[in-house]
Structures are given as C-alpha cells and as structure tokens.
C-alpha cells in the first residue's frame, strides 16, 4: 500500500489528538460525494494530479461552461459535539475564477443525529495567500444538538472556472478565552477656548477610569470652540497635538484616538490618529468622505481604509460623514477589524447602527452633535454619554459572537456573499 495513502487511512480511522478529519491525498475519494441542487446545476467534479500541495492529487471542480453551475464535493464528519469549538482549515487554488470571495465556497453545515440542520451554516471565510494557494480558516462553535457536520467544498457560478481543494483539516480546539478591552469614549464640546485640546485632557483626567484600555476623543479636537478655520490649526503628524496625546497615552497606558487636521506639503486632511500605550503613533486615517463645508474649507479627501493592530485586536477608523456611506465600514470589516472607532461632529445614529449590524462589528463614537456611545454588532447601545463633560465606558469581549436567526454569523457571511465583481454604473449617470 502507498505510504501516504496508508497514513491517510490511519489518520481518518484513529485521529490525531484533537483532529476529527484531515486529508491531503485525494486519489482515494471514499466518503466524499458530489453534490448540486439539481442536475442542471451540477458542475464537473474530478481529482487532479497536476495541482497538489501535499499528496499526489487534489479535489477539483469545473464550471464546465455552465453559468448555473453550483456545487462540488462534500463529506459527512461525525463525532461533533454541540457547544464545542472547532477549527476548519482548507487550501484552494483557482483558474479563471473572477470573484473568489463568493465563487469559492467552503461551508460547515451542522447536522443533528436525525440529519436535520442543527443551526445556520458557517462559512470558512478568512483567507491568506500562500504562494499559488490560498488558505481558508475559521474557528467556530458548533450549534447545540450538533452530532455531525457536512463539510462542503463548492464552486459557485463560474462557468469558465476550475477550483482545486487540498489539505483539508477539521480539529477540535479549546473555547477561546475572553478578549476584553475597556473602552472610554468622551462627550465634550469646548466653547470660546484657546486650547480645546487642554479641555479634552482635563475631561479625561477627571472622568476616564484609570484602567481604560482605549480612550476615544471626537473629530477636530484642535478647532472646536476656537472659531478658527481648518487651515489655521493644521499641523504635521507627529506634531504638537500628537505629542500631547502621546503623553496622555503613556501616562494612562492606554490607546488614544482623536481627530485633528493634518498638513502634508500643500495638502490638508481631516485625520484620525491612533497612539499606542507607549505613546507611539500606530497609524492615521484620512477622512475619505468630505461634506461640502470641508471641501470648501480647503481639505482633501483620503484614499484608503487602513486597519491597525493593537494588543487586544484589530481596529479601523472612520470620521463623521463616512458613516453616511456603507463602503468604509464594509472595507474595514472585510480586512478583519474587530471594532470601528468613529470620531464624529454630528450625524445619523440610525446609520451608525446600520453600519454595525450589516458588518457584524462593534462601533464606538465620540461626538459633539452626536452621542458618544458604544454599539454592539446587533446595533444595541451598550453605553452612552449624552451630557457635556461625561464619558461612556464599557468592557467589550471581542471574542463574543452575535449570530442572527436565519443568518448565523453575519460577520463571515457578508465576506462570502458580497459581490464586488458586479460593475456599478457611475453615480448620477442616467441611462
């Protein structure tokens, strides 16, 4: 018997510690079945020796020139315990697949002992390129009453495409420990002041708990209450204001986020800065969506939606008018942001809640004509400061999931159901 094939059979029969199933040699497809909703949508399924990561063959699926083709391979894996945690990992590579995020599908379809679904399916959604292959992974809790899982590997509506799957692995893992972060967001609006930044620092000193992990201040903390124009208060980054914020971060051993006005050469930006617990600049976000008052005030829009690592997770930033558009929050969530920080002047609370709900993400705001609040992925306000000189504080567990009935984990579903491949006509262009 071939050594690799023998090792595969032994692993499936006995299992390594914590491993329920793994396979990298697909010359033997025993236990696998081809699947589609109906005969007319069945893609061509086969094994391919040309492309493989581990053993001599991979699972392959071809759209077979059929735009309706949807389906591929699946396997039933028993021994699942409801409420327990699992990590699923698989590798794929493609040929002529235009939109991998939704046309490459790996799903965990949880089943009860009677074969009925135990809960909503989970998509193996987070990806990382490794040479010509892409690694997909997810860590997920099996729904209650789960006894088995149908692990599915599909190609969706890619008529000219071919998809290869290899190195699949399902293993049990410990439940993740809570990933707590204590957030403090300030509601303060200085007026008739020469030093609004000093007013914010005083409010932090008197109102923010000493053990806060992150302190959020509003948009434009250098201009509010001064009567000055944007061009009067712009500065470089690093600069005087980031130096003061860095001192605050060091003293509090907390991350600090605030909105200021930045000059880079001839260009002026509305910028949000993130400083770490040592006062080092982690990064900046330049506001993309500018209302007409800011354009007329000489500001230039930013050109990207960066995310930033912290010691508690990944954060993204938006500023004020950004919340009126779905793209910024969608882009941040798609890159793995655990929460969005929103310095804001004024805006629509309903839309802020929508940004949290549609992306399954926490959103924290600090505003003037807008409440300083902390919203969970269900759009619920966990803590809110509405009076001047107050602070909203709460501790978030960034590991907590918020599944929705009939949808399951919105966070991962949005990644796999988004359609960036469909061209959108020029806004305002009538046909």
Mean pLDDT across 191-196? 96
Judged against a pLDDT cut of 90, whether residue 405 lies above it is answered with no
> Pick from 411, 425, 394: which is nearest to 214 by CA?
394
Judged against a pLDDT cut of 80, whether residue 374 lies above it is answered with yes
Say how far apart CA 393 and CA 384 lie, in whole Å: 8
Judged against a pLDDT cut of 60, whether residue 117 lies above it is answered with yes
Q: What is the pLDDT of residue 424?
A: 86
Q: Going by DSSP bridges, is the β-strand pair 339-343/362-366 parallel, antiparallel, or unpaired? A: parallel
Q: What is the pLDDT of residue 184?
A: 98
Q: How confident is the model at residue 1 (pLDDT cuts 50, 70, 90)?
A: very low
| Cβ atoms 235, 246 nearer than 8 A | no
Mean pLDDT across 151-170? 98
Judged against a pLDDT cut of 80, whether residue 431 lies above it is answered with no
| Cβ atoms 363, 375 nearer than 8 A | yes
- CATH number of the 180-398 domain: 3.60.110.10
- Measured from the Cβ of residue 194, the count of other Cβ atoms closer than 10 Å reads 9
Which tens digits make up the pLDDT trace of 297-317?
A: 999 999 999 999 999 999 999
DSSP assignment letter at 160 = T
| Cβ atoms 321, 347 nearer than 8 A | yes
Higher pLDDT, 250 or 1: 250
Q: What is the pLDDT of residue 4?
A: 34
DSSP assignment letter at 275 = E
Say how far apart CA 294 and CA 219 lie, in whole Å: 13
In three-state secondary structure terms, 198 is helix
In three-state secondary structure terms, 428 is coil
Mean pLDDT across 349-362? 97
Bridge partner residues of 76 (DSSP): 150
Judged against a pLDDT cut of 60, whether residue 420 lies above it is answered with yes
Judged against a pLDDT cut of 50, whether residue 40 lies above it is answered with yes
| Cβ atoms 356, 377 nearer than 8 A | yes
Percent of the chain whose predicted confidence (pLDDT) is above 70? 96
**Alpha-helical segments (H) within 261-342:** 292-296, 326-334
Dmax (CA) of the chain: 85
Percent of the chain whose predicted confidence (pLDDT) is above 90? 91
Mean pLDDT across 420-429? 88
| Cβ atoms 390, 368 nearer than 8 A | no
Bridge partner residues of 257 (DSSP): 216, 274
Say how far apart CA 353 and CA 165 lie, in whole Å: 38
Q: How confident is the model at residue 384 (pLDDT cuts 50, 70, 90)?
A: very high
CATH superfamily of 3-173: Galactose-binding domain-like (2.60.120.260)
Terminal C-alpha separation, the chain: 65
Judged against a pLDDT cut of 70, whether residue 14 lies above it is answered with no
Q: What is the pLDDT of residue 17?
A: 58
| Cβ atoms 374, 215 nearer than 8 A | no
Instruction: For the chain, give the mean pLDDT.
Output: 94
Residue ranges matching CATH 2.60.120.260 in the chain: 3-173
Mean pLDDT across 384-411? 94
CA atoms within 13 A on the CB side of 29: 16
Say how far apart CA 141 and CA 144 lie, in whole Å: 9
What are the two backbone dihedrals, phi and then psi, of residue 427, each rounded to the nearest 5 degrees? -55, 130
Q: Residue holding tokens 């492309």? A: 51
* DSSP, residue by residue, 348-391: -HHHHHHHHHHHT-EEEEE-SBS-EEEE-TTS-EEEEE-STTEE
Judged against a pLDDT cut of 70, whether residue 200 lies above it is answered with yes
Joined together, the tokens standing for residue 104 give 């490459």
Mean pLDDT across 151-173? 98
pTM for the whole structure: 0.92
Mean pLDDT across 265-288? 98
DSSP assignment letter at 326 = H
* DSSP, residue by residue, 25-62: --S--TTEEEEESSGGGPPEEEEESSS-SSSS-EEEEE
Say how far apart CA 285 and CA 270 lie, in whole Å: 8
Q: What is the pLDDT of residue 251?
A: 98
The mean-pLDDT minimum among 89-103, 289-303, 359-373, 413-427 falls in: 413-427
Q: Residue holding tokens 């420990």? A: 177
Q: What is the pLDDT of residue 138?
A: 97
Higher pLDDT, 427 or 289: 289
Q: What is the pLDDT of residue 21?
A: 97
Mean pLDDT across 391-418? 92
Q: How confident is the model at residue 204 (pLDDT cuts 50, 70, 90)?
A: very high
Judged against a pLDDT cut of 70, whether residue 16 lies above it is answered with no
Beta-carbon contacts of residue 373 (< 8 Å; ≥ 6 apart): 185, 364, 365, 381, 382, 383, 384, 385, 392
Residue ranges matching CATH 3.60.110.10 in the chain: 180-398
Before 246, cis peptide (omega within 30)?
Answer: no
């Amino acid at each position: 018997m071939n050594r690799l094939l023998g090792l595969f059979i032994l692993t499936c029969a006995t299992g390594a510690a914590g491993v329920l199933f793994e396979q990298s040699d697909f010359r033997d497809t025993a236990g696998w079945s081809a699947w589609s909703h109906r005969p007319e949508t069945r893609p061509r399924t086969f094994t391919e020796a040309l492309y493989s990561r581990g053993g001599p063959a991979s699972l392959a699926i071809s759209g077979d020139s059929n735009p309706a083709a949807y389906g591929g391979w699946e396997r039933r894996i028993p021994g699942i315990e409801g409420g327990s945690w699992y990590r699923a990992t698989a590798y794929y590579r493609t040929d002529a697949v235009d939109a991998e995020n939704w046309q490459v599908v790996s799903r965990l379809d949880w089943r009860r002992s009677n074969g009925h679904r135990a809960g909503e399916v989970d998509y193996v959604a987070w990806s990382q390129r490794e040479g010509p292959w892409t690694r997909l992974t997810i860590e997920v809790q099996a729904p209650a009453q789960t006894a088995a899982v149908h692990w599915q590997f599909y190609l969706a509506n890619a008529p000219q495409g071919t998809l290869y799957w290899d190195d699949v692995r399902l293993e049990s893992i410990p439940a993740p420990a809570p990933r707590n972060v204590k957030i403090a967001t300030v509601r303060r609006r200085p007026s008739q002041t020469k030093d609004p930044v000093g007013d914010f620092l005083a409010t932090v000193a008197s109102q923010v708990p000493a053990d806060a992990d992150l302190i959020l201040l509003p948009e434009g903390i250098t201009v509010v209450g001064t009567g000055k124009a944007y061009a009067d208060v712009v500065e470089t980054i690093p600069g005087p204001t980031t130096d003061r914020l860095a001192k605050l971060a060091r003293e509090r051993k907390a991350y600090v986020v605030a909105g200021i006005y930045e000059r880079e050469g001839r260009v002026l930006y509305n910028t949000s800065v993130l400083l770490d617990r040592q006062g080092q600049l982690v990064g900046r976000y330049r506001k993309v969506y500018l209302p007409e008052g800011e354009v007329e005030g000489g500001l230039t829009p930013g050109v990207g939606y960066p995310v930033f690592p912290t010691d508690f997770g990944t954060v993204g930033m938006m500023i004020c008018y950004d919340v009126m558009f779905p793209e910024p929050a969608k882009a941040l969530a798609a890159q793995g942001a655990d929460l969005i920080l929103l310095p804001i002047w004024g805006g629509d609370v309903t839309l802020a809640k929508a940004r949290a709900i549609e992306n399954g993400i926490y959103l924290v705001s600090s505003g003037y004509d807008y409440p300083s609040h902390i919203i969970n992925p269900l759009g619920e306000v966990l803590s809110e400061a509405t009076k001047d000189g107050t602070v909203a504080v709460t501790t978030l567990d960034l590991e907590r999931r918020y599944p929705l009935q009939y949808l399951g984990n919105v966070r991962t579903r949005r990644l796999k159901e988004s359609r960036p491949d469909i061209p959108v006509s020029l806004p305002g262009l009538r046909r």
